[in-house]
């Protein structure tokens, strides 16, 4: 009996598998599940074997992108934005209130010093001048009257003293003498007050005459009219602040470009450096400028600290206009005949294969992970930023070349020393990496 059972087991291997999987072969549903599991296991084993052998047969390969070392001129620039302004801009206003009688100039008119820009109605001002003249004449008349009083009291006092002397100090009495002296002093005081009133009246007249002269608004500079905010018949109200009627620019053939330089670049910017800039109005044209001042006062906008820098601009052809937004490129350094390497070569880090962690799972042993690459530099990063290393290929393998770098424009960097020659190919990136 036992032997017969063993023979049946050998003739029916599926029953053994069923016993292992604890599946009842008598059940149709369980029988389908058994076959499905067997098929999945066989397929997984086949895929695992194919993938494993493909990875074992695939050779290790890494392809690198290179760029050639050049020799040329390195130009280091600092970029900043700002606006164009006249060299000298003056706002012309009115100290007086009144009605504008006439406007003598318009936009873009060229004016000279002393030229009439506008006139205010002077009817009230002329009446005030006439009134001041009358007050001055009245004050002068009072001076004459006070002078006559002084002369009269002086004569009376002299007469009293003469009589007293002739009468051997009998008459007049001492009180009469004192009264005469007091009257004389009061007459002199009245004369001084009258003279002061004359000075006051004279000052009032001069003030009114000055106001009358200011009713005619004159140009303080030679220049051009940029803006006007007044029309004939308009009422000008000058209370605490003089209203601006005209804006004049002294000379638009010489302008200034005010740009904001970032705090990280301000140490490189010096007076006398050359610059070029462009404006939206002339997209295909470049203008030249020169730095004349870098101001110490800072300006903070949205947490960004900048310093205002002034550039001198020649605008002889009058192409540029005040208020234009300009983007300036300031040349802070220029190195001739320098060995130049791409900045990407300095930023390149060779791949370093990390140790593969041992997997204890069955799938991990059948499907080993590909090597991972970490961005590490062999030997660490030097504290001296001028001491760097670049990488070249020798027989398909990476080889480090120590270099000492100088100025940089961002895309290209000057090599001060190192085994670098023009035409040498330096690694700048990884194109593809194999297993």
Banded pLDDT at 12 (limits 50, 70, 90): low
Please provide the CATH number assigned to the domain covering 77-87+249-334.
2.40.30.170
Banded pLDDT at 280 (limits 50, 70, 90): very high
Q: Other C-beta atoms within 10 Å of 405: how many?
A: 19
Banded pLDDT at 320 (limits 50, 70, 90): very high
Return d(Cα 408, Cα 400) in angstroms, integer.
Answer: 21
Cα three-residue angle 288-89-283, rounded to 5 degrees: 30
List the end-to-end C-alpha distance of the chain, in Å, as a whole number: 59
H helix or E strand, kind and range, residue 78? strand 70-86
The alpha carbon of residue 221 and the mean position of all alpha carbons in its chain are separated, in whole angstroms, by: 30
Return d(Cα 403, Cα 424) in angstroms, integer.
Answer: 14
409 vs 310: which has the higher pLDDT:
310
Kindly report the average pLDDT of the chain as a whole number.
83
Rounded to a whole number of angstroms, the CA Rg of the chain reads 51
H helix or E strand, kind and range, residue 120? strand 116-120
Banded pLDDT at 255 (limits 50, 70, 90): very high
Coil, strand or helix: which one is 99? strand
Q: What is the pLDDT of residues 130-168, one digit of tens each?
A: 999 999 999 999 999 999 999 999 999 999 889 988 888
Lowest-confidence region among 40-49, 266-275, 369-378: 369-378
Banded pLDDT at 15 (limits 50, 70, 90): low
Q: Other C-beta atoms within 10 Å of 368: how many?
A: 14
**Percent of the chain residues past pLDDT 70, beyond the cut:** 80
Q: How far is CA 343 from CA 91, 184, 263, in A?
A: 50, 101, 23
Q: What is the pLDDT of residues 69-82, one digit of tens each?
A: 999 999 999 999 99
Banded pLDDT at 379 (limits 50, 70, 90): very low
CA torsion, ordered 156, 159, 165, 167, to nearest 10 deg: -100
Q: What is the mean pLDDT of residues 285-297?
A: 95
Q: Is the pLDDT of residue 325 over 50?
A: yes
**Percent of the chain residues past pLDDT 90, beyond the cut:** 56
Banded pLDDT at 23 (limits 50, 70, 90): very low
pLDDT value of position 381: 45
Decide if domain 122-214 falls under CATH 1.10.15. no
The alpha carbon of residue 130 and the mean position of all alpha carbons in its chain are separated, in whole angstroms, by: 56
pLDDT value of position 238: 82
Coil, strand or helix: which one is 179? helix
Burial (Cβ within 10 Å: 0-12, 13-18, ≥19) of residue 321? middle
Banded pLDDT at 221 (limits 50, 70, 90): very high
pLDDT value of position 373: 45
What pTM does this model have?
0.63
Q: What is the pLDDT of residues 80-99, one digit of tens each?
A: 999 999 999 999 999 899 99
Burial (Cβ within 10 Å: 0-12, 13-18, ≥19) of residue 139? buried
The CATH T-level fold of domain 91-120+216-248 is OB fold (Dihydrolipoamide Acetyltransferase, E2P) (2.40.50)
Q: What is the pLDDT of residues 412-424, one digit of tens each?
A: 999 988 888 898 8
Phi, psi of 315 (to 5 degrees): -120, 50
Q: What is the pLDDT of residues 27-57, one digit of tens each?
A: 555 666 667 777 777 777 777 776 555 555 4
Please, which residues bridge with residue 90 across strands? Answer: 248
Architecture of domain 63-74+340-433: Beta Barrel (2.40)
């Amino acid at each position: 009996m036992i032997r017969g059972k063993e023979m049946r087991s050998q003739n029916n291997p599926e029953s053994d598998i069923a016993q292992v999987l604890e599946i009842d072969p008598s059940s149709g549903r369980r029988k389908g599940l058994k076959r499905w599991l067997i098929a999945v296991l066989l397929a997984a084993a086949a895929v695992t074997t194919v993938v494993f052998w493909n990875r074992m047969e695939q050779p290790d390969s890494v392809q690198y992108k290179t760029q050639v070392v050049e020799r040329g001129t390195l130009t280091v620039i600092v970029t900043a934005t700002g606006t164009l302004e006249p060299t000298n801009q003056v706002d012309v206003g009115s100290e007086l209130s009144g009605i504008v009688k006439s406007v003598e100039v318009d936009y873009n008119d060229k004016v000279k010093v002393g030229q009439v820009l506008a006139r205010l109605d002077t009817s009230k001002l002329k009446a005030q001048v006439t009134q001041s003249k009358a007050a001055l004449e009245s004050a002068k008349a009072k001076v004459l009257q006070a002078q006559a009083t002084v002369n009269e009291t002086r004569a009376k006092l002299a007469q009293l003293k003469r009589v007293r002397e002739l009468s051997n100090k009998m008459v007049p009495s001492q009180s009469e003498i004192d009264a005469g002296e007091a009257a004389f002093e009061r007459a002199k005081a009245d004369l001084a007050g009258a003279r002061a009133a004359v000075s006051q009246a004279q000052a009032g007249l001069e003030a009114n005459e000055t106001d009358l002269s200011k009713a005619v608004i004159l140009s303080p500079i030679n220049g051009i009219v940029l803006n006007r905010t007044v029309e004939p018949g308009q009422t000008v109200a000058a209370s605490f602040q003089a209203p601006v009627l005209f804006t004049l620019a002294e000379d638009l053939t010489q302008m200034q470009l005010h740009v904001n330089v970032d705090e990280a670049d301000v140490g490189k910017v010096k007076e006398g450096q050359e610059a070029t800039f462009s404006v939206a109005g002339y997209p295909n044209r470049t203008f030249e400028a020169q730095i004349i001042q870098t101001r110490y006062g800072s300006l903070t906008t949205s947490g960004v600290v900048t310093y205002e820098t002034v550039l001198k601009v020649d605008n002889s052809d009058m192409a540029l206009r005040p208020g234009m937004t300009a983007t300036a490129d300031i040349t802070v350094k220029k190195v001739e005949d320098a060995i130049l390497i791409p900045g990407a070569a300095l930023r390149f880090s060779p791949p370093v294969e990390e140790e593969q962690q041992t997997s204890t799972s069955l799938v991990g042993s059948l499907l080993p992970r590909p090597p991972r690459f970490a961005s590490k530099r062999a030997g660490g990063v030097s504290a001296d930023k001028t001491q760097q290393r670049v990488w070249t290929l020798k027989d398909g393998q990476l080889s480090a070349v120590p270099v000492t770098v100088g100025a940089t424009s961002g895309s290209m960097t000057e090599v001060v020393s190192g085994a670098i020659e023009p035409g040498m190919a330096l690694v700048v990136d990884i194109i593809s990496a194999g297993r």
